């Protein structure tokens, strides 16, 4: 009996999630429209929406007359998520920054802060700073902490989903073995979900950006490090221990420079932002940052453009093998370097055409992300509202779909 009851509860939670996501996708819908969108019966929809209204997540409002309402002689009653029902937090840790945002349940961003920080140096310091920023954005948005449903977090390293710990010490020293979700939850006082930052970039672009409606996507985060978020068959793919997508540490040049992971000639040593900045510095003198590289390239500096295009070629050379294996429909270029635009994209496309199978190349589009360097933090927000369902403070998820990318919703700032 217990097993049967648990299965029924899981099914009800899944169905509640289908309704919530249909409302997020459409903004508002009648019960009949929800039944059509979810495939659930009218009776089930009536039961679920009554529960959601009782929980304060859904509200009724009078809609405009449509074809059905004209025949019925009255306007339909529409259902919509109540943005006031709660909020979610998103935290994006890069190697050199922390970004924190708070959004309501309709995905409208209410406040957002970014801070430069050496995240690799000290996990404790980075987590402390993120908690301080979370308090600040909640205060700016006028949101009480007890109204937060949950927090999604992106970290620039592999996350072992079996244990919730950060893996691969060479990639993110100081964080290895750290239960990041628990550490942040202890600081914040509410539930936290943690994932790799590039994976969240893929989720962000899928939910709100260039990858909407596409089921087979490779999202590349090109910044201080290089990582890939993989969306295969409409589901995020992380691998057995969370290492899927660490393309920045694939061998590119056997005689290349020593990488921070301990290997020689990784892609990151040739195409990462620090590598490009170091080459530019040889010509310009002094130290240059990623921001300097992007500024020079977008201003038309010939040397900067050439180096970014070369970096794109290097990325495309490694990406070609992955495209051959995974056969994606779309490659999205994200991260700080993607702000350079066409020189980067052209370099990637050039190498794909040269090294990937013609059939794979013919099937794939390479596009620049539309969310910029906010893709990861927006993905962190979506991790709570899309990937794991909307949570009531102190309760379990409304549905259980931890690896599924659900339908897009608008982001309004």
pLDDT of 295 higher than 70: yes
pLDDT of 275 higher than 90: yes
Report how far residue 179's alpha carbon sits from residue 190's, in angstroms, rounded to the nearest whole number. Answer: 15
Q: Which of 244, 249, 234 is nearest to 159 (CA)?
A: 244
Q: What is the pLDDT of residue 261?
A: 85
Distance of CA 70 to the CA centre of its chain: 42
HEC assignment per residue over 236-284: EECCCCCCCCCHHHCECCCCCCECCCCCECEHHHHHCHHHHHHHHHHHH
Domains detected in the chain = 2-81 (1.10.10.10), 87-202+382-387 (3.30.420.40), 212-369 (3.30.420.40)
CB atoms within 10 A of CB 51: 15
Q: What is the pLDDT of residue 394?
A: 39
Taking the C-alpha atoms of 166, 167, 173 and 175 in order, what is their torsion angle to the nearest 10 degrees?
Answer: 20
Q: Which two tokens stand for residue 4?
A: 């049967």
| Comparison of pLDDT for 302 and 17, the residue scoring more | 302
What is the rounded end-to-end Cα distance, in angstroms, of the chain? 48
129-187 pLDDT, tens digit each:
999 999 999 999 998 888 888 899 999 988 988 888 888 667 787 888 899 999 999 99
Residue 233 DSSP SS3: coil
Q: What's the sign of the alpha-carbon dihedral 305, 310, 316, 319?
A: negative
CB atoms within 10 A of CB 325: 9
33-58 pLDDT, tens digit each:
999 988 999 999 999 999 998 888 88
Give me the residue label for tokens 């970096």.
311
Distance of CA 13 to the CA centre of its chain: 23
User: Residue range 379-406: average pLDDT?
Assistant: 52
CB atoms within 10 A of CB 223: 26
Q: Which of 334, 405, 377 is nearest to 153 (CA)?
A: 377
Burial profile 95-130: b = 16 or more Cβ within 10 angstroms, e = fewer: bbbbbbbbbbbbbebbbbebeebebbeebeebbebb
User: Residue range 88-96: average pLDDT?
Assistant: 93
pLDDT of 198 higher than 90: yes
Question: What is 168-219 written as a DSSP string?
Answer: -TTTSTT-TT--HHHHHHHHHSS-EEEEEHHHHHHHHHHHHSTTTT-SSEEE
243-270 pLDDT, tens digit each:
899 999 999 999 999 998 889 999 999 9
* Pairing, β 217-222 against β 226-232: antiparallel
User: Residue range 95-124: average pLDDT?
Assistant: 91
Report how far residue 332's alpha carbon sits from residue 345's, in angstroms, rounded to the nearest whole number. Answer: 9
Q: What's the sign of the alpha-carbon dihedral 158, 160, 165, 167?
A: negative
Residue 41 DSSP SS3: coil
336-392 pLDDT, tens digit each:
999 999 999 999 999 999 999 999 999 999 999 999 999 999 999 998 876 543 444
Question: What is 166-177 written as a DSSP string?
Answer: E--TTTSTT-TT
Report how far residue 236's alpha carbon sits from residue 94's, in angstroms, rounded to the nearest whole number. Answer: 20
Report how far residue 313's alpha carbon sits from residue 319's, in angstroms, rounded to the nearest whole number. Answer: 10
pLDDT of 277 higher than 90: yes
Q: What is the pLDDT of residue 399?
A: 35
pLDDT of 10 higher than 80: no
Q: What is the pLDDT of residue 137?
A: 96
Report how far residue 155's alpha carbon sits from residue 169's, in angstroms, rounded to the nearest whole number. Answer: 13
Distance of CA 128 to the CA centre of its chain: 22
């Amino acid at each position: 009996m217990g097993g049967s009851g648990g299965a029924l509860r899981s099914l009800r939670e899944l169905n509640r999630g289908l309704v919530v996501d249909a409302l997020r996708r459409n903004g508002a819908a009648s019960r009949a429209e929800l039944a059509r969108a979810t495939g659930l019966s009218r009776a089930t929809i009536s039961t679920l929406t009554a529960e959601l209204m009782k929980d304060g997540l859904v509200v009724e409002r009078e809609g405009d007359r449509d074809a059905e309402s004209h025949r019925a002689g009255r306007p339909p009653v529409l259902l919509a998520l109540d943005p006031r029902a709660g909020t979610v937090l998103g935290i994006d840790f890069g190697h050199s920054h922390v970004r924190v945002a708070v959004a309501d349940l309709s995905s409208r961003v209410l406040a957002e802060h970014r801070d430069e920080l050496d995240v690799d140096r000290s996990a404790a310091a980075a987590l402390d700073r993120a908690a301080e920023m979370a308090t600040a954005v909640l205060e700016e948005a006028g949101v009480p902490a007890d109204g937060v449903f949950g927090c999604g977090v992106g970290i620039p390293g592999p996350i072992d989903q079996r244990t919730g710990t950060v893996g691969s010490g060479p990639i993110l020293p100081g964080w290895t073995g750290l239960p990041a979700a628990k550490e942040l939850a202890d600081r914040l006082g509410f539930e936290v979900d943690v994932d790799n930052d590039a994976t969240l970039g893929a989720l962000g672009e899928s939910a709100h950006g260039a990858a909407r409606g596409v089921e087979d996507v490779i999202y590349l985060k090109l910044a201080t490090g290089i990582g890939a978020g993989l969306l295969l068959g409409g589901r995020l793919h992380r691998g057995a221990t969370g290492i899927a997508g660490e393309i920045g540490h694939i061998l590119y040049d056997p005689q290349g420079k020593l990488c921070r992971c301990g290997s020689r000639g990784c892609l990151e040593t040739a195409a990462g932002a620090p590598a490009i900045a170091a080459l530019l510095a040889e010509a310009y003198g002094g130290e240059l940052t990623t921001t300097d590289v992007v500024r020079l390239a977008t201003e038309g500096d010939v040397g900067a453009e050439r180096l970014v295009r070369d970096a794109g070629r290097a990325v495309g050379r490694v990406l070609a093998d992955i495209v051959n294996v995974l056969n994606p429909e779309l490659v999205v270029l994200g991260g700080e370097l993607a702000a350079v635009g066409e020189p980067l994209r052209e370099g990637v496309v050039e190498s794909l055409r040269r090294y990937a199978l013609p059939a794979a190349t013919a099937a794939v589009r390479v596009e620049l992300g539309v969310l910029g360097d906010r893709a990861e933090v927006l993905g962190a927000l979506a991790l709570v509202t899309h990937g794991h369902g909307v949570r009531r403070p102190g309760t379990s998820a409304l549905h259980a779909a931890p690896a599924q990318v659900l339908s897009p919703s608008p982001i309004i700032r």
